[in-house]
């Protein structure tokens, strides 16, 4: 479901409400959520009475840091949602899979229609060593992520640029919506090989990555249909309303009025303007 801007929004909101709260109770009704081989009873026992220190993000992963050097990692995959609020309200969610009862009686829950989401309990010191995080590329909004770093990572890739943008090992956090939006913004054809981009295109791509992702965070993510992303209070993201290509097949390009096309690429829908993304 969520890409970098959606996870960032969730993490910002969680930080305001979870910091310094204590976990009083744990509920889990979908065994496969827990990826690591840990007994459910042990998992619950470990979390109980632990204080939450802070919440952060790495790529599309939510990292909930607890006392005693523990981190609860949550990946929402396609349809995962984090909810926060009154138990009586949250219990009505038909896709509730996991929740924490906090010491203010509020609930932080994971709802997930398609059951792809996963939860991992790890030690802080092994954070950068675990499979899920060790191969991730740089954060595209970090200060250290310069144009030169982008070029360095893309100039030798003999793969189509859209696939490269979505590869978490190359750059972390970009998924199908924002890969499409970024390439429209940069006026680059999604099927062009990464290594064939010229200097000007790399510059445009770099600017587009920064612009699209930070604007999407400002608009608190994208909600395009009912099943899609919500923030922890159930509110929709506004970026979907100002998106340029994603799921706009057959509609007019906002730059040149040509019809937006859709093609399947790597099993995913690619939307682009055939005229200004040559």
**Interface with DNA by CB under 7 A: which residues?**
1-3, 6, 32, 59-60, 75, 77-79, 94, 113-116, 131-132, 158-159, 166, 168, 175-177, 221-225, 227-229, 264, 266-269
Task: Kindly state the smallest distance separating residue 278's Cβ from DNA, in Å.
Answer: 22
| Least spacing, CB of residue 36 vs DNA, in Å | 11
Nearer to DNA, 33 or 102 (CB): 33
Distance CA 206, CA 210 (A): 6
60 an active-site residue? Answer: yes
Tokens encoding 183: 């390439």
Distance CA 200, CA 116 (A): 39
Catalytic residue among 44, 159, 268, 275: 268
Closer CB to DNA, 147 or 193, in the complex = 193
Which among 50, 58, 60, 118 is annotated as catalytic?
Answer: 60
Nearer to DNA, 64 or 166 (CB): 166
Taking the complex as a whole, how short is the minimal distance between the CB of residue 164 and DNA, in angstroms? 9
CB of 260 to DNA, least distance (A): 13
CA angle 54, 60, 63 (to 5 degrees): 20
Q: Minimum distance between the CB of residue 32 and DNA, rounded to whole angstroms?
A: 5
Nearer Cβ to DNA (168/214)? 168
Burial class (CB in 10 A: 0-12, 13-18, 19+), 251: exposed
Please state whether 85 falls in left (phi above 0), alpha (psi between -120 and 50) or beta. Answer: left
Establish whether 2 is a catalytic residue. Answer: yes
Would you call 45 a catalytic residue per the annotation? Answer: no
| CB nearer to DNA: pick between 45 and 195 | 195
Q: What gap in Å lies between CA 133 and CA 56, rounded to an integer?
A: 14
- Looking at the Cβ atoms of 202 and 271, the one nearer to DNA is 271
Minimal distance, residue 114 CB to DNA, in Å: 3
Residues tagged active-site: 2-3, 60, 268
């Amino acid at each position: 479901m969520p890409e970098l801007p959606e996870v960032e929004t969730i993490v910002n909101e969680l930080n305001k409400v979870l910091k310094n709260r204590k976990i009083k109770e744990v509920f889990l009704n979908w065994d496969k959520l827990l990826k690591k081989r840990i007994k459910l009873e042990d998992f619950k026992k470990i979390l109980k009475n632990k204080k939450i220190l802070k919440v952060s993000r790495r790529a599309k992963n939510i990292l909930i840091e607890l006392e005693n050097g523990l981190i609860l990692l949550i990946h929402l995959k396609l349809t995962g949602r984090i909810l926060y609020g009154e138990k009586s309200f949250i219990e009505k969610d038909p896709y509730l899979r996991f929740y924490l009862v906090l010491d203010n009686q509020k609930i932080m829950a994971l709802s997930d229609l398609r059951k792809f989401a996963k939860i991992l309990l790890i030690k802080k010191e092994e954070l950068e060593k675990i499979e899920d995080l060790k191969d991730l590329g740089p954060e595209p909004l970090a200060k250290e992520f310069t144009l030169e770093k982008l070029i360095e990572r893309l100039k030798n890739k003999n793969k189509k640029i859209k696939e490269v943008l979505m590869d978490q090992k190359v750059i972390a956090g970009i998924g199908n919506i924002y890969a499409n939006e970024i390439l429209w913004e940069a006026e680059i054809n999604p099927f062009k090989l990464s290594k064939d981009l010229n200097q000007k295109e790399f510059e445009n791509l770099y600017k587009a990555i920064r612009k699209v992702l930070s604007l999407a965070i400002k608009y608190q993510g994208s909600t395009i249909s009912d099943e899609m992303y919500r923030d922890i209070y159930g509110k929709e993201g506004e970026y979907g309303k100002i998106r340029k290509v994603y799921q706009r097949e057959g509609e007019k390009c906002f730059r040149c009025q040509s019809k937006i096309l859709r093609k399947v690429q790597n099993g995913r829908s690619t939307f682009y303007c055939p005229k200004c993304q040559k």
